[in-house]
Chains A and B, each alone.
Chain A
């Protein structure tokens, strides 16, 4: 490891750092994502860590739409979009073809929570069961954002969407967010993890870990959506961090179904810090017994996560210095 990458002191000049560490840019600037779109950032981080020797199967969704307005494309990796619900199967086909041709490219599947938790779940389950060598990344913004913020099975309990609005009789989504990570992990999954755009080093580390596995791996990346969640685009990272610090979004790693890693929370925040920052939870702050009860429910969910995954404690180095070399090698090829 060289001197630059092992430097663990805070670096104030981010632009200078990026000039010194040319990372592989698989997703170029200039695409048409909304201001503060965390999914766009997450996809860029994933490709930085995965490097150029990949091929992407992208499900229908915001990511596909804002990156490829014909005749332009923001992708600098081979990329195919087929349909909404078949990213797992298309990725399976890419992988089978590469295997048959003796090619070494790693296959990535990209999908949102709609394409993963809901309509594409069967295809994902089949891909894992057949043990295809694919990293499946779900950019989780917790609703159908591409079609205008409708509920998905990933939408958190009590969140308002256009199909689970808050009104006199209902306080947003009545059902719980599906525990997709446990479901995926139950497929004898070699590696399944959650990540957050608020922790890019952790995210990249998990991508590198997943890419190194020969077999199916899964990464669920919590990705705030300013439009759908009702927050200013400049606060996406902050809100993503609050989700983790409250315990609502635990950053964990499961190998063969066993918990093998959890990012500790140094100072646990109350869920209200996270919820009050977003318009989709605004109705929970009305002074009614129902709203109070729902806030208690959500706090209980966060407390449960902290308890089950052992999230309370002192942390490790979050800067991900270990992987810098890999990133630089990927970047050098395309510099």
Chain B
């Protein structure tokens, strides 16, 4: 079982990112759930969403308390209390930032990608989530990047879809493939 927590701000497509990742996993035959950390929906407010995925079926619906990975859509959120909470010691931190963030409290396994800039270039909109997911899948090797493409294709059509595909391809080239490859852990992990 792999557990991911995604942090962002309202309006950044945080829940959409969680849904896309879970949809990509479901498309690959995994059992996956994606759900928001239930908060009021206001633009700009810090928000979180969860993804829990496993090759075997599971039934639990509690929130993700000890994620294997954190995806942070806004580097400024790293200073918000609780954002790093519960990350497993061997866990990875993927941040939307031009430079890799530094700090004693940050995990050793971390990677930065200028996702907003890249999205702006390809889509003309500052939506970092697709870039981050493509980088995430390349780093972890959990799912083929094509699975993300297929999940995106279920949401978009025409030129927007083509732009997203190009964006995914460009983003997937950025990180070292498989650098964060993990063994799947047991559902009893919590």
Direct contact of A and B (CB under 8 A): no
Interface residues of A (CB under 8 A from B): none
